[in-house]
Amino acid sequence: MDIIVCVKRVPVTQEVDLEIDSTKKDIKKDMLAYMINEWDNYAIEEAVSIKEKIGGSVSAITVGYEDDEEVLRRCLAMGADRAIHIDPEGRELDPYLISKILYQVIKDMPYDLILTGVQAEDSNDGMVGIMLAEHLGIPHSAVVNSLEIENGRAKIKVELEGGVDEISRIELPALLSIQTGINEPRYVSIMGIRKAAKKELKVIPLSDFGLAEEELSPWTTIEELFLPPETKGAEILEGDPDAIAEQIIKIIKEKGVNL
């Protein structure tokens, strides 16, 4: 079973006062800590667990810069066999272009299963995995929180809305985006990371793919980032149900809604 996992290094933004940078297209990141994208951490754990159960190999791939190799070393320490770092060489990236770059690498690799996190923690988009599957022309499923390999197929449980789960089977090769809770990612020790330094980590410049300039243009661009405006706190309505209903109707009318 050959498994590929796409991972990303993201800034830690929880409990931090974020500031917009001078371009107004990104946040200031120079003082932020970085870590592996949470959902990708579950994906690499699932891949390694499958390898331990039925054999095979696990390859971790990231699109990013030299500092982003940190997450690849973590993947190797968790049990991945090899890692690939694709250097975008200063290119502006969006989800579509990232999926296209990943396709250039993966299309020539042996694989039975490709795993991604269900979304990116920094941009909150969940498009890369699904677009990658479309580039490769393989089946895909998103928000997977249970996975079993059986007779050339994957039995999966997918989280739907309203607390409902769907169980289905998908033919391999396939791409699955992994939801939190599918497993408990293993602890990675400093010693494990040092040992991982001896494993293969291949660096591929984007220029090696020979893509035309028009193929490297992002499909989406950020015009401006801004913090949400401060608003007043919640208004508590008091009184009996009839009085509260009258207050709600008055507020709705004041907001310009025609009843």
pLDDT tens per residue, range 112-151: 999 999 999 888 889 999 999 999 999 999 999 999 999 8
72 in Cβ contact with 83 (< 8 Å) = yes
User: 9-12: long-range contacts (C-beta < 8 A, 24 or more apart)?
Assistant: 9/34, 9/35, 9/36, 9/37, 9/62, 9/64, 9/67, 9/68, 9/70, 9/71, 10/34, 10/35, 10/36, 10/37, 10/120, 10/121, 10/122, 11/122
63 in Cβ contact with 98 (< 8 Å) = yes
CATH topology of domain 2-216: Rossmann fold (3.40.50)
pLDDT for 254 equals 86
Give residue-wise pLDDT tens across range 34-86. 999 999 999 999 999 999 999 999 999 999 999 999 999 999 999 999 999 99
pLDDT for 200 equals 82
pLDDT for 46 equals 97
Could you tell me the pTM of the whole model?
A: 0.85
241: CB partners within 8 A, 6+ apart: none
Location of structure tokens 């197929």: 153
Give residue-wise pLDDT tens across range 241-259. 988 998 999 888 888 777 6
